[in-house]
């Protein structure tokens, strides 16, 4: 009777889940797994930092809709991966992190890379975490991990396997590989709730759908588009859902900010009167003081997790359901019912979108002088394929690119989420290229963000992942420096200068194609050379350091037209400007 070790069990269990690759950085605690990989078709993509491996597992899930898998060694391997796991946790992204551990037999003996509570680190930032203590049960816990990662609201999970468990052996015939351990159908809306939602939608004159990750991970892109078309309802999407309805579709209007009441008040016109939150949590832009939802609008919230209903605002109708099942049942219930075409509402939204697009026409027409960031991102967007995948990383850089690119396929735009984590761009792009080798993958990174995970250019070279990267180089932490100067006055800034760095040379030293771009007219030709070079490429584009992205101006709007303060004494009860959060009363 053959005896197999824990690494063999683990690899077989991953293959049964349909996992074709793992992201990792070598550590001896994982060698039993790597040994098994040599006998199987599981692709091992090793990175230069564990944080990047975790980000790649996160990025894989964002671009495919399926969980990504990362493996890290014990001790510093696990601690290095914490940021990547936390980023996935905040954005409800399904991924599995497998962590090595010191031997169980050496507990309390201060072993190498032991003595820290890895479970204690991971439990607050995962949906589920478990330490395996019996080798024959490894497949069981792998199945359990995947079930937790994708059930209900998705999220990251952590499986810790001590080295003496992973290298232990068991009789092959005694090892059980679970089957049929996840539901085949998803929960749908109640009949009454669905009827009420459709009745309110029929009454609405200015409805809007705010779509989130719940749509993408339910694989319900086509249903969303069909539902919007049947009801003539405009759709706005957050970053995870972008492309679920093609962004050149006449009913797609970009991000949630399209229904911001302020944008309509300035035009003396009312905003949305009915908002359907479809698989998006109430948070930064949908609840509290910064909400884009008009206070007098009816709100319907559809979410697979009951705990998310009404998190930070009143909800007129909460529906606990999988977004895909809600949409399918709604489409069936609509049948031949005709909805108002909402022509005036759609024309108003279209006019606002057109005005925003043309606000930078003057900057686009300028060929001389410093390169305007809008010129950079528009030139890039025009060169990319229609189904290209874009990863955008950096405070102002991501915002510029997000406004220029039209995602026409779900999973084709990836950027920051609730954690506001920098350094995700290159790992996300590499994961996307591993998942979609036949599609263009483009990454734009601010020069500040470029300092995090820059060595993954070497990973791209090593594993033949030819992504094209643009460094938006304004020689500073743009959002941070602009914010300081808006608050304190021109020339007053601390820890936000970076100076000129030749990133293209550094990338070339790691094996990439590198090129410096200093003139606007050279952007498109350089992009074409980078896209056709057949390997990872780095274009270092020097842009205007004085241009402030509108989102930064909005965050610091309290200082608009006012004399900047120097942070001295302040009278009690007065409002204080908090970077990123607006004005608050702090006594």
Evaluate if residue 260 carries a pLDDT over 90: no
Evaluate whether 5 touches 168 at the Cβ level (below 8 Å): yes
CA–CA distance, 408 with 246 (Å, rounded to integer): 4
Alpha carbon dihedral 476, 481, 482, 484, in 10-degree steps, equals -170
Mean pLDDT for the chain overall? 93
Element (H, E) at 348: helix 343-358
Contact 222, 244 (CB under 8 A): no
278 phi, psi to nearest 5 deg: -110, 95
DSSP 146-165: HHHHHSSS--EEEEEEEHHH
pLDDT, residue 563, reads: 56
Reported confidence tier of residue 213, pLDDT bands at 50, 70, 90? very high
pLDDT given at position 573 = 60
Q: Are 277 and 258 in contact (CB under 8 A)?
A: no
DSSP designation for 335: T
Q: What tokens appear for 44 in the block?
A: 């091992």
Establish whether 476 is a catalytic residue: no
pLDDT band of 110, cuts 50, 70, 90: confident
Query: Comparing 529 with 585, which gets the higher pLDDT?
Result: 529
| Banded pLDDT at 108 (limits 50, 70, 90) | confident
**412 near 243, Cβ under 8 Å?**
yes
User: What value does the mean pLDDT take over residues 9-24?
Assistant: 97
Cα-trace Rg, the chain: 25
pLDDT for res 367: 86
Report pLDDT digits (tens) over 324-372: 999 999 999 999 999 999 999 999 999 988 988 888 888 888 888 899 9
Share of the chain above pLDDT 90, in %: 81
pLDDT of residue 264: 46
pLDDT of residue 278: 98
Confidence of residue 101 (pLDDT cuts 50, 70, 90): very high
Can you tell me the distance from the alpha carbon of 86 to that of 64, in angstroms, rounded to the nearest whole number?
20
* Residue 554: band (very low, low, confident or very high) from pLDDT cuts 50, 70, 90: confident
Beta strands in 413-493 (DSSP E): 413-414, 441-446, 468-473
Q: Cα(432)–Cα(535) distance, rounded to whole angstroms?
A: 15
Domains delineated in the chain: 3-174 (3.40.50.970), 191-353 (3.40.50.1220), 359-551 (3.40.50.970)
Is residue 440 annotated as part of the catalytic site, yes or no? no
Local structure of residue 368 (DSSP, 8 states): S
Contact 517, 488 (CB under 8 A): no
396 catalytic residue (yes or no): no
The pair of structure tokens assigned to 577 is: 């400007």
pLDDT of residue 81: 98
- Supply the DSSP string of 24-79, one letter for each residue: E---GGGHHHHHHHTTS--EEEE-SSHHHHHHHHHHHHHHHSS-EEEEE-TTHHHH
pLDDT, residue 433, reads: 98
Rounded mean pLDDT, 99-122: 89
Q: Is the distance from CB of 566 to CB of 399 less than 8 angstroms? A: no
Determine the Cα–Cα distance for residues 232 and 210; give it in Å rounded to an integer: 14
Catalytic residue among 50, 140, 325, 396: 50
**pTM over the 0.75 mark:** yes
Q: How far is residue 248's CA from residue 452's CA, in Å, rounded to a whole number? A: 33
Mean pLDDT of 510-525: 97
Q: Which of 21, 51, 113, 440 is catalytic?
A: 113
Beta strand ranges found along 165-215 (DSSP E): 169-171, 207-211
Report the pLDDT averaged over residues 282-296.
82
Residue 40 bears catalytic tag: no
DSSP 543: B
Q: What is the mean pLDDT of residues 63-91?
A: 98
Q: Of 288, 420, 509, 567, which one is the catalytic site residue?
A: 420
> What pLDDT score was predicted for residue 566?
57
- pLDDT per residue over 527-551, tens digit each? 999 999 999 999 999 999 999 998 8
pLDDT tens sequence across 145-163? 999 999 999 999 999 999 9
Give the distance from CA 577 to its chain's centroid.
28
Q: pLDDT confidence of 586, banded at 50, 70, 90?
A: low
pLDDT 10s digits, 433-451? 999 999 999 999 999 999 9
Q: Which pLDDT tens digit goes with each residue over 566-577?
A: 555 656 666 776
């Amino acid at each position: 009777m053959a005896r197999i070790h824990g690494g063999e069990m683990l690899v077989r269990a991953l293959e049964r889940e349909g996992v074709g690759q793992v992201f990792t950085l070598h550590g001896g605690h994982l060698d039993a797994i790597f040994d098994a990989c040599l006998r199987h078709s599981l692709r091992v993509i090793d990175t230069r930092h564990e944080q990047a491996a975790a980000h790649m597992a996160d990025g894989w899930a964002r671009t495919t809709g399926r969980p990504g898998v990362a493996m890290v060694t014990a001790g510093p391997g696990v601690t290095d991966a914490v940021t990547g796991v936390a980023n996935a946790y905040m954005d409800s992204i399904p991924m599995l992190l497998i962590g090595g551990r010191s031997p169980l037999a050496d507990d309390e003996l201060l072993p190498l890379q032991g003595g820290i509570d890895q479970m204690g680190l991971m439990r607050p930032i995962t949906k589920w975490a478990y330490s395996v203590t019996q080798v024959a049960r490894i497949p069981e816990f792998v199945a359990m991990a995947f079930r937790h990662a994708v059930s209900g609201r998705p999220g990251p999970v952590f499986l810790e396997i001590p080295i003496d468990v992973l290298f232990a052996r068991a009789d092959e015939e005694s090892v059980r590989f679970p089957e049929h351990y996840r539901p085949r159908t998803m929960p749908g809306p109640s009949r009454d709730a669905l009827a009420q939602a459709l009745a309110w939608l029929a009454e609405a004159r200015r409805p809007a759908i705010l779509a989130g990750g719940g749509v993408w991970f339910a694989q319900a892109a086509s249903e969303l588009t069909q539902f919007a078309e049947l009801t003539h309802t405009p759709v706005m999407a957050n970053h995870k859902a972008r492309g679920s309805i093609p962004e050149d579709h006449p009913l797609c209007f970009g991000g949630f900010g399209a229904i911001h009441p302020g944008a309509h008040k300035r035009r003396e016109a009312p905003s949305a009167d009915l908002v359907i939150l479809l698989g998006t949590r109430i948070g930064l832009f949908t609840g509290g003081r910064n909400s884009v939802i008009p206070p007098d609008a009816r709100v319907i919230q559809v979410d697979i997790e009951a705990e998310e209903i009404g998190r930070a605002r009143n909800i007129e109708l909460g529906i606990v359901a999988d977004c895909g099942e809600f949409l399918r049942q709604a489409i069936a219930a609509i049948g031949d019912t005709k909805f108002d075409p909402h022509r005036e509402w759609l024309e108003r939204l279209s006019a606002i979108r057109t005005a925003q697009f043309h606000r930078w026409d003057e900057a686009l027409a300028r060929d001389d002088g410093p390169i305007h960031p809008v010129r950079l991102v528009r030139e890039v967007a025009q060169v990319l394929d229609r189904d290209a995948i874009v990863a955008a990383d950096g405070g102002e850089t991501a915002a510029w690119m997000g406004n220029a690119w039209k995602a026409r396929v779900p999973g084709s735009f990836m950027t920051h989420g609730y954690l506001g984590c920098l350094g995700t761009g290159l790992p996300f792009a590499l994961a996307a290229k591993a998942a979609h080798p036949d599609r263009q993958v483009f990454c734009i990174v601010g020069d500040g963000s470029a300092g995090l995970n820059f060595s993954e250019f070497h990973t791209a070279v090593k594993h033949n992942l030819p992504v094209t990267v643009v460094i938006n180089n304004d020689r500073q932490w743009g959002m941070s420096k602009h914010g300081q100067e808006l608050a304190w006055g021109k020339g007053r800034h601390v820890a936000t200068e970076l100076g000129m760095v030749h990133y293209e040379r550094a990338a070339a030293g790691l094996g990439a194609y590198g090129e410096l771009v200093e003139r606007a007219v050279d952007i498109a030709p350089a992009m074409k050379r980078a896209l056709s070079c057949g390997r990872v490429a780095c274009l270092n584009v020097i842009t205007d350091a004085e241009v402030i992205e509108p989102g930064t101006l909005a965050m610091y709007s309290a200082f608009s037209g006012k004399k900047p303060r120097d942070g001295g004494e302040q009278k009690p009860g007065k409002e204080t400007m908090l970077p990123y959060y607006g004005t608050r009363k702090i006594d």
